[in-house]
């Protein structure tokens, strides 16, 4: 690979965001309740992180944990969250909606993408719950989202590398495929080589277990991962 690769780190606190920035992350995904997969952070948390972190920030828009089929009230809550993100000065939002038949809810997702403008939109790992990944890829592209966060429908991105490679190839320049789940300094180079991806997502939950405050260790692990990502880009 001879192009720059980018590292996104998911966090749920100001302290973790600052540690990720010091460690060399390129972008922050800001959530609450990462132990549940991440939900929409409070406006106060978004404001606090925005005030102290210089990196681009993508805010999770997910009204609850669990499945990705949302009620009318939940959809309205997502629209309010996007409006708040637009006002907060962040650079992007992360969202995903499915229908009961496990297809991408194209109409409502597109509505959110339009509402979010000019913010960038990542379609999150709801993608991995879709019935047909190739169909889901085309549907997400048609919504106008710029990125898809996916493990390749596996427990981790390294395990899903074959499908990730297929998605990267099929996506071309139409949408960015971002491998996530289980990404660390020891495996990111291999994932990059196997998939051709250029952006990577990690929560490094083993370095900062849920409820932990060992931000120094987290910073060290982010730095290791950032250095490995940089090495992947140079090969």
At 186, is the secondary structure helix, strand, or coil?
A: coil
Residue-range definition of the domain harbouring residue 76 = 6-228
Cα 231 to its chain centre, rounded Å, is 21
Tell me what pLDDT residue 213 has: 78
Tell me what pLDDT residue 1 has: 39
C-alpha to C-alpha distance for 88 and 72, rounded to whole angstroms: 25
pLDDT category at 17 given cuts 50, 70, 90 is very high
Q: In this structure, is residue 1 part of a structural domain?
A: no
Q: In this structure, is residue 23 part of a structural domain?
A: yes
Tell me what pLDDT residue 90 has: 98
C-alpha to C-alpha distance for 29 and 47, rounded to whole angstroms: 14
Q: In this structure, is residue 185 part of a structural domain?
A: yes
Q: In this structure, is residue 18 part of a structural domain?
A: yes
Residue 128: DSSP 8-state: G
Q: In this structure, is residue 233 part of a structural domain?
A: no
* Average pLDDT score over the chain: 94
Cα 225 to its chain centre, rounded Å, is 16
Please report, for the domain that includes residue 203, its CATH number: 3.20.20.380
Q: In this structure, is residue 16 part of a structural domain?
A: yes
Mean predicted confidence (pLDDT) in 141-148: 97
C-alpha to C-alpha distance for 32 and 11, rounded to whole angstroms: 8
Mean predicted confidence (pLDDT) in 180-192: 96
Q: In this structure, is residue 71 part of a structural domain?
A: yes
**Number of domains the chain is built from:** 1
Q: In this structure, is residue 207 part of a structural domain?
A: yes
pLDDT tens per residue, range 23-77: 999 999 999 998 888 999 999 999 999 999 999 999 999 999 999 999 999 999 9
């Amino acid at each position: 690979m001879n192009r720059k690769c980018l590292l996104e780190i998911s966090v749920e606190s100001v302290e973790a965001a600052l540690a990720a920035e010091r460690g060399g992350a390129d972008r922050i995904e800001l959530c609450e309740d990462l132990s549940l997969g991440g939900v929409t952070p409070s406006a106060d948390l978004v404001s606090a992180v925005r005030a102290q972190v210089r990196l681009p920030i993508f805010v999770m828009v997910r009204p609850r944990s669990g499945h990705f089929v949302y009620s009318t009230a939940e959809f309205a809550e997502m629209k309010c969250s996007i409006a708040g993100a637009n006002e907060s000065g962040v650079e992007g939002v992360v969202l995903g909606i499915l229908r009961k038949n496990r297809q991408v809810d194209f109409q409502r997702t597109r509505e959110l993408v339009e509402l979010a403008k000019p913010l960038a939109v990542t379609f999150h790992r709801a993608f991995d719950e879709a019935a047909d990944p190739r169909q889901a890829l085309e549907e997400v592209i048609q919504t106008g989202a710029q990125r898809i966060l996916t493990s390749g429908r596996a427990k981790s991105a390294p395990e899903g590398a074959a499908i990730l490679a297929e998605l990267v190839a099929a996506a071309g320049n139409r949408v960015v495929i971002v491998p996530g789940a289980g990404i660390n300094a020891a495996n990111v180079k291999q994932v990059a080589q196997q998939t051709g991806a250029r952006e990577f997502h990690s929560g490094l939950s083993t370095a900062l277990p849920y409820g932990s405050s060992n931000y120094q260790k987290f910073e060290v692990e982010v730095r290791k991962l950032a250095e490995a990502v940089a090495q992947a880009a140079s090969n």
